[in-house]
C-alpha cells in the first residue's frame, strides 16, 4: 500500500498519542482513548489494532458494565518489546531488561576489571551476559543502550575514560550492535543515564545527580531534561578542582574531586576518608550550584553506602558556602548502584513509547 | 480600526521581518525587501511606511539606475528610538546611549561608591547622569536596561549583591522607571549583559565570559544565547571555591574565586597578585569547562588591563587541568570595562529590532 508521506507522519504521531494514553496510570477503553485524544473511535481502533499486532498493547478481560459491547481496558503489554540496558563499568559489566511497563525483569552485574584490559574481551563478556539475560526473560528486545564511564561523543563513541587508559575512541555502540546480531545500540555516559533514571523514578526536575564510583561523574537535569552543555559532554564534575595542590588524577590534572571522593580514595580507608570525600563533594557542588543555579543534589552510585556521615559533610559544606537564599536540597539516590543500568534500559523503553512507529516500521 | 487578532499578529511578525532585512549589512530597496521576504511589494510598502512613521527606518537618496521609479535604499534611522544602558557598579554608576544602528552615541561612567551607600542616593545619581546623557544626544529613548553587580531575579529585583550589603531585594528596575518618567526599564546581571555584548560584537557562540571587577561574575553563552540555568541565576563563577581554606568572602563563604581574582585582591599589590589571580581563574574555569563543556573563555571587565601575564597564567592552568582533547581558547575582551553598559543599551535596541510592533503599539 502506498500513501502520501504526510499521512505516514500523521499516523506515526497518532500511534504515539494513543500509546501515550495507554501508558497512563489507569487502564482505558478505546472509547476513553478517543475521548482523550480527540481522534475518532474508528481511527483509535485501527491504531490500537496496529499496536496490539506489534505486541505493544494488550487488552485486559472485558468489563461488562452498561448496555452494548463490553469495554476492554487497554494496557501496555509486559510481554512486548523490552529495553536492554548494558553497562561497561571500570571493574564490572552489567545487563538489565526492563519491560514496556517499566518493570525490571532481569538484572545482573559481574566483576570484570577493565583497567588493564582490552575492550574486545570486555565486550565479549558483556555480550555473553546480555544474551543469557535476554534468554532468561524470553522477551523480544526493542534495542539497547550502553552506559559508559567516560566521555561519549555524539556518534556513540567512547572518546576517553580517565580510568580506562586503553579505551580511547572505541565505537562501543557499533561493536555491541554487531555482536548482538544487529540490534540497535546507543551509548551514553553512565552518570547521564543514572540522572535520567532518577528523573523517571520521580526525582527532581532540576538537579545535579552525582554518580560515585571509581570515577565520579554527574548528570545535570534542567527542566526535567538532560543538560548537554556546549558540546554534549557536560557534567564532568569528577574533574572539578577541589585541592589545587592535591594528588595527581588519572585525567592528567591534579586535585580533582575524583582523587578525594572516588572509590579508590574512599576504599584506602583513612579514618576520615568519608568526611574528606563529603567535604570535597561539597566544594565541587558549591561551584556547580553557583554556575548552574540548581536547587537540588542527588548523590548516587556508591555514595549511599557511605551513610549519613557523607550526607552531613556535604550539607555542611554547601550550607557554609552557597549564598543562594533558598538553599540546596541534598539527598541520596534510592536506586542503588545500578541506576545507570536501569536508566539505560528505561531509555530504550521511553524511546519506544515516544515513537512506536519507528519500531513498527523496522519490524 | 478593528481587525481580528490574527491579523495584528501577522502584521507584527511581518514588521519584524521587514525591519530585520533593513537592518542587514546592505541598504535594500522596497523591491529587494519584497524579494527576500516573499511578501508582496504592496505589503512591504505599507509596512515600510509604518516603520518610517515610527522613526525606525529612513530612506537614503534615491539611486536612479534603470528605467521606472528610482529605488530608494532603506536604512535603520540613526535618529530613531535609541537604547539607554544603565549600570550600578560597586563603586560607579554609568549610562550609555546606543542608537538603532548599534552606534554608541554617548557614554559616561562616574565614581559613586555604593558599598556603604543607600540605594536611593545611588539611583538619584544614576538618573541625573542618564537625563544629562539623553539630553546631549537629543534622541528619543525606546527603553532602558540596567546592569547590576549581583543576583537579579525574574522580576528585575536585585536580590543580593555580595559587595553591596545594603542592596537586598531592591526593585531597581521599577525604581528607575519611576524616576525616568515611566520609561520601561529592565534589569540584568552585569556579567550576563557583558557576555551578550561580546556575542553581539562577533564573539564566540559558546563561551564563558568572565567579568572581572570588585566582584567577579560570568555570563555563559551556549549556542549564541545566554544560559539561564535552573533558576535564571547561573554563572556566579566568583563564588566557585578555589582555595578551600582561603580568605573569607563577602558572600559568607571562604576561598571563593573573587577573594583571589577580584579587584581588591589585585589592587592589594602583592608581587604575585596577577599570577595568583590567573591561577585561581584557571582553577575555577577548569570546573566551569568540565561542567558546561564550553570551548572558549573570554576575560573581560578589568582583566585585559592585567596584560599577558594574566592570560598566560590562565592558559597554563587550563592546559594542565582540562582533559578535553580540543583544548580551550582563552582571550581578553576588546570591549573594555564598559561592556556590560554597552550590552545593556544594545539589549534595548535588539528588543526593538526583534519586535518593532511592541514599540509602535506603545507609542
pLDDT of A99-137, one tens digit each?
999 999 999 999 998 888 889 999 999 999 999 999 999
* pLDDT at position B66: 57
- pLDDT higher at B304 or A9: B304
Q: How far apart are CA B198 and CA A202, in angstroms?
A: 40
SS3 of A185, please?
Answer: strand
B291 and A290 in contact by Cβ < 8 A? no
Q: Does A20 touch chain B (CB under 8 A)?
A: no
- Which option is the CATH number for A82-193+339-362: 3.90.245.10, 3.30.420.40, 3.60.10.10, 3.40.718.10? 3.30.420.40
Compare CB distances from A242 to B218, B244, B251 and report the shortest one's residue: B244
Q: Does B292 touch chain A (CB under 8 A)?
A: yes
The residue ranges of chain A whose pLDDT is under 50 are 1-3
Contacts of B320 in chain A (CB under 8 A): 252-254
Chain B interface mutation, best of A244, A278, A285, highest count of B Cβ atoms under 10 Å: A244
Contacts of B323 in chain A (CB under 8 A): 160, 162, 236, 239, 251-253
B253 and A286 in contact by Cβ < 8 A? yes
Chain B interface mutation, best of A167, A215, A290, A324, highest count of B Cβ atoms under 10 Å: A290
Say whether pLDDT at B270 is over 90.
Answer: no
Q: How far apart are CA B74 and CA B76, in angstroms?
A: 7
Question: From residue B39, how far is each of A201, B47, B54 by CA, in Å?
Answer: 50, 10, 21
pLDDT tens digits, residue range B233-244?
Answer: 899 999 999 999
Compare CB distances from A294 to B230, B242, B283 and report the shortest one's residue: B230
Q: Are B332 and B194 in contact (CB under 8 A)?
A: no
Going B146 to B147 to B149 to B155, the CA torsion angle's sign is: positive
C-alpha cell at B10: 501577522
Spatial neighbors of B164 by CB under 8 A, at least 6 apart, are B90, B114, B115, B149, B150
Q: Does A220 touch chain B (CB under 8 A)?
A: yes
For B168, which residue in chain A has the nearest alpha carbon?
Answer: A325
C-alpha cell at A97: 531488561
For B249, which residue in chain A has the nearest alpha carbon?
Answer: A321
Q: Does B244 touch chain A (CB under 8 A)?
A: yes
Q: Are B240 and B288 in contact (CB under 8 A)?
A: yes
What residue ranges in A99-179 does DSSP mark as E strands?
Answer: 104-111, 141-148, 151-152, 158-160, 168-170
Where in chain A do CATH 3.30.420.40 domains reside?
A: 82-193+339-362, 204-332
Q: Which fold has domain B5-76?
A: Arc Repressor Mutant, subunit A (1.10.10)
**What are the φ/ψ torsions at residue A329 (nearest 5 degrees)?**
-85, 125
Where in chain B do CATH 3.30.420.40 domains reside?
A: 82-193+339-362, 202-332
C-alpha cell at B340: 556590560
| CATH superfamily label, A204-332 | ATPase, nucleotide binding domain (3.30.420.40)
Show which of residues 128-187 on chain B sit within 8 Å of chain A, judged by CB atoms: 159-160, 162
Choose among B118, B15, B7: nearest CA to B57.
Answer: B15
Compare CB distances from B229 to A242, A279, A293 and report the shortest one's residue: A293
Q: Are strands B141-148 and B82-88 parallel, antiparallel or unpaired?
A: parallel
* pLDDT at position A300: 97
For A283, which residue in chain B has the nearest alpha carbon?
Answer: B241
* pLDDT at position A72: 82
Q: How far apart are CA A83 and CA A345, in angstroms?
A: 5
* pLDDT at position B183: 96
Residue that the C-alpha cell 531534561 belongs to: A225
SS3 of B201, please?
Answer: coil
Give the range among B19-33, B56-70, B98-112, B131-145 with minimum mean pLDDT.
B56-70
Going B289 to B293 to B296 to B302, the CA torsion angle's sign is: negative
Q: Does B281 touch chain A (CB under 8 A)?
A: no
* pLDDT at position A64: 59
* pLDDT at position B1: 41
Describe chain B by its helix, strand, coil percentages, rounded to 5: 40, 20, 35
Spatial neighbors of B106 by CB under 8 A, at least 6 apart, are B95, B96, B97, B133, B136, B137
B41-53 and B5-22 helices, crossing angle to 10° = 80
Show which of residues 57-116 on chain A sit within 8 Å of chain B, judged by CB atoms: none
Q: What is the average pLDDT across B296-305?
A: 96
A291 and B229 in contact by Cβ < 8 A? yes
A291 and B252 in contact by Cβ < 8 A? no
Choose among B221, B253, B225, B222: nearest CA to B238.
Answer: B253
SS3 of A336, please?
Answer: coil
Q: Does B234 touch chain A (CB under 8 A)?
A: yes
Angle at A157 between CA A152 and CA A163, to 5 degrees: 60
Contacts of B231 in chain A (CB under 8 A): 206, 293-295
Where in chain B do CATH 1.10.10.10 domains reside?
A: 5-76
C-alpha cell at B243: 582555595
C-alpha cell at B147: 546592569
**Arithmetic mean of pLDDT over chain B:** 92
Q: How far apart are CA A81 and CA A97, in angstroms?
A: 10
Radius of gyration, CA atoms only, chain A = 23
Say whether pLDDT at B2 is over 60.
Answer: no
Say whether pLDDT at B62 is over 80.
Answer: no
Say whether pLDDT at B3 is over 60.
Answer: no
Spatial neighbors of B122 by CB under 8 A, at least 6 apart, are B88, B93, B112, B114
Least Cα separation, residue B9 to chain A (angstroms): 28
Residue A78 burial (C-beta neighbours within 10 Å; 0-12, 13-18, 19+):
middle
Count CB pairs under 8 A between chains A and B.
Answer: 144
B291 and A288 in contact by Cβ < 8 A? yes
Q: Which fold has domain B202-332?
A: Nucleotidyltransferase; domain 5 (3.30.420)
C-alpha cell at B309: 601575564
Show which of residues 301-340 on chain B sit within 8 Å of chain A, judged by CB atoms: 320-325
DSSP state, residue A246: -
For B169, which residue in chain A has the nearest alpha carbon?
Answer: A325
Amino acid at each position: 500500500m502506498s500513501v502520501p508521506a504526510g499521512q505516514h507522519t500523521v499516523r506515526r504521531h497518532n500511534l504515539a498519542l494513543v500509546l501515550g494514553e495507554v501508558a497512563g496510570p489507569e487502564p482505558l477503553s478505546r472509547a476513553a482513548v478517543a475521548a482523550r485524544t480527540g481522534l475518532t473511535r474508528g481511527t483509535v481502533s485501527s491504531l490500537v489494532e496496529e499496536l496490539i499486532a506489534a505486541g505493544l498493547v494488550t487488552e485486559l478481560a472485558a468489563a461488562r458494565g452498561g448496555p452494548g459491547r463490553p469495554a476492554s481496558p487497554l494496557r501496555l503489554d509486559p510481554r512486548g518489546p523490552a529495553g536492554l540496558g548494558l553497562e561497561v563499568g571500570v571493574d564490572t559489566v552489567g545487563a538489565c531488561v526492563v519491560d514496556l511497563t517499566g518493570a525490571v525483569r532481569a538484572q545482573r552485574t559481574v566483576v570484570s576489571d577493565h583497567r588493564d584490559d582490552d575492550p574486545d574481551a570486555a565486550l565479549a563478556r558483556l555480550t555473553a551476559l546480555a544474551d543469557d539475560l535476554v534468554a532468561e526473560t524470553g522477551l523480544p528486545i526493542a534495542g539497547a543502550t550502553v552506559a559508559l564511564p567516560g566521555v561519549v561523543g555524539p556518534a556513540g563513541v567512547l572518546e576517553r575514560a580517565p580510568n580506562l587508559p586503553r579505551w580511547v575512541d572505541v565505537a562501543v555502540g557499533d561493536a555491541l550492535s554487531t555482536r548482538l546480531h544487529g540490534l540497535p545500540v546507543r551509548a551514553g555516559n553512565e552518570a547521564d543515564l543514572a540522572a535520567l533514571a532518577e528523573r523517571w523514578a520521580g526525582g527532581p526536575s532540576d538537579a545535579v545527580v552525582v554518580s560515585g564510583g571509581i570515577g565520579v561523574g554527574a548528570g545535570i537535569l534542567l527542566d526535567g531534561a538532560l543538560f548537554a552543555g556546549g558540546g554534549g559532554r557536560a557534567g564532568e564534575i569528577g574533574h572539578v578542582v577541589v585541592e589545587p595542590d592535591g594528588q595527581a588524577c588519572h585525567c592528567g590534572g591534579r586535585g580533582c574531586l575524583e582523587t578525594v571522593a572516588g572509590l579508590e580514595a574512599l576504599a584506602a580507608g583513612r579514618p576520615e576518608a568519608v568526611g574528606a570525600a563529603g567535604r570535597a563533594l561539597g566544594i565541587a557542588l558549591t561551584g556547580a550550584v553557583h554556575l548552574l543555579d540548581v536547587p537540588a543534589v542527588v548523590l548516587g552510585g556508591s555514595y549511599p553506602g557511605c551513610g549519613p556521615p557523607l550526607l552531613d559533610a556535604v550539607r555542611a559544606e554547601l550550607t557554609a558556602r552557597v549564598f543562594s537564599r533558598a538553599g540546596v536540597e541534598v539527598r541520596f539516590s534510592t536506586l542503588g548502584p545500578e541506576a545507570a543500568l536501569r536508566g539505560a534500559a528505561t531509555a530504550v523503553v521511553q524511546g519506544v513509547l515516544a515513537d512506536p512507529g519507528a519500531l513498527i516500521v523496522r519490524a
